[in-house]
């Protein structure tokens, strides 16, 4: 694989050790990044606010809670059911069991955005991220993509990095210039891209093909996997090309942001050669 492997933390339980208790300590987001309470979150959704994620107390079952879930159904907003202790760690305010996290950017609908690329005469070049959760890796990928002229980065609503102020900072502001398409189901999104004529090029160790052997001068989506396990089997099945970046040293893998940069700039190289 081409991704930085995660190592167990020092408090990982060993045989015979007492199982560690749940720890809900976390960095508190800035207050301006959050909305608290059922009514407030529902009103924000109705007002068209861009919401990255909603955390809901896992045992909520009131009428208003059901109304909130109905409004979120079918959207690209991630919904996470958590213990009340998690919510209490995030704020001292009366959250009523619900906290919504505002996004600093607006998201694009993939099925609206892609046709505009073709209509404008562009040869689409997209980067699709499968479960990349590290904000520094995500920010670095977006920064590279923006510098290279990538048309958009596609992420899943769930099991992906939180797109917040930290993500903007790590991207050096590139998130304000790079269209981000958030999708409810990444596997279906990849199928849609393939059906629309894009070649899905997946970076994976489970291939003998070199990443330079693929033709990137056609419409292309470069698929990169998570930092620990790579591309999920469901998404990998949607790939039209599976390629690997050759490793010559003793380290087995590249960090995902570095690997993405290698793939992106191979596409840039080929496209420039074609236009010269």
What is the enclosing helix (H) or strand (E) of 273? helix 256-275
Q: What per-residue confidence (pLDDT) applies to 158? A: 85
Question: What's the rounded Cα separation, in Å, for the pair 48 and 107?
Answer: 12
Q: What per-residue confidence (pLDDT) applies to 168? A: 92
Q: What percent of the chain has pLDDT over 70?
A: 88
pLDDT per residue over 46-71, tens digit each?
A: 888 888 889 999 988 889 899 999 98
pLDDT per residue over 247-265, tens digit each?
A: 888 877 789 999 999 999 9
Cα distances (angstroms) measured from residue 266 to each of 55, 89, 137, 142:
39, 44, 19, 16
3-class DSSP state of 154: strand
Q: What per-residue confidence (pLDDT) applies to 32? A: 59
* Domains of the chain in sequence order: 31-102 (3.30.1330.30), 110-275 (3.40.1280.10)
């Amino acid at each position: 694989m081409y991704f930085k492997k995660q190592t167990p933390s020092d408090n990982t339980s060993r045989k015979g050790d007492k199982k560690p208790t749940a720890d809900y300590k976390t960095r508190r987001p800035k207050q301006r990044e959050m909305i608290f309470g059922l009514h407030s979150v529902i009103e924000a959704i109705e007002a068209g606010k861009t919401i990255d994620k909603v955390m809901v107390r896992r045992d909520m079952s009131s009428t208003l809670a059901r109304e909130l879930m109905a409004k979120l159904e079918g959207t690209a907003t991630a919904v996470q059911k958590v213990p009340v202790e998690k919510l209490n760690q995030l704020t001292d305010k009366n959250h009523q069991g619900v906290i919504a996290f505002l996004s600093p950017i607006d998201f694009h609908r993939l099925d609206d955005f892609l046709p505009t690329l073709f209509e404008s005469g562009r040869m689409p070049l997209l980067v699709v991220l499968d479960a990349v959760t590290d904000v520094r890796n995500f920010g670095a990928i977006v920064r590279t993509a923006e510098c290279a002229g990538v048309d958009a980065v596609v992420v899943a609503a769930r099991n992906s990095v939180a797109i917040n102020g930290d993500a903007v900072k790590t991207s050096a502001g590139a998130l304000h210039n790079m269209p981000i398409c958030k999708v409810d189901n990444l596997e279906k999104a990849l199928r849609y891209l393939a059906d629309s004529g894009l070649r899905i090029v997946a970076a994976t160790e489970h291939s003998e093909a070199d990443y330079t052997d693929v033709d990137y001068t056609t419409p292309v989506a470069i698929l990169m996997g998570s930092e620990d396990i790579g591309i999920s089997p469901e998404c990998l099945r949607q790939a039209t090309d599976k390629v690997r970046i050759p490793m010559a040293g003793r380290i087995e893998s590249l960090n995902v942001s570095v690997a993405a940069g290698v793939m992106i700039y191979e596409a840039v190289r080929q496209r420039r050669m074609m236009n010269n």
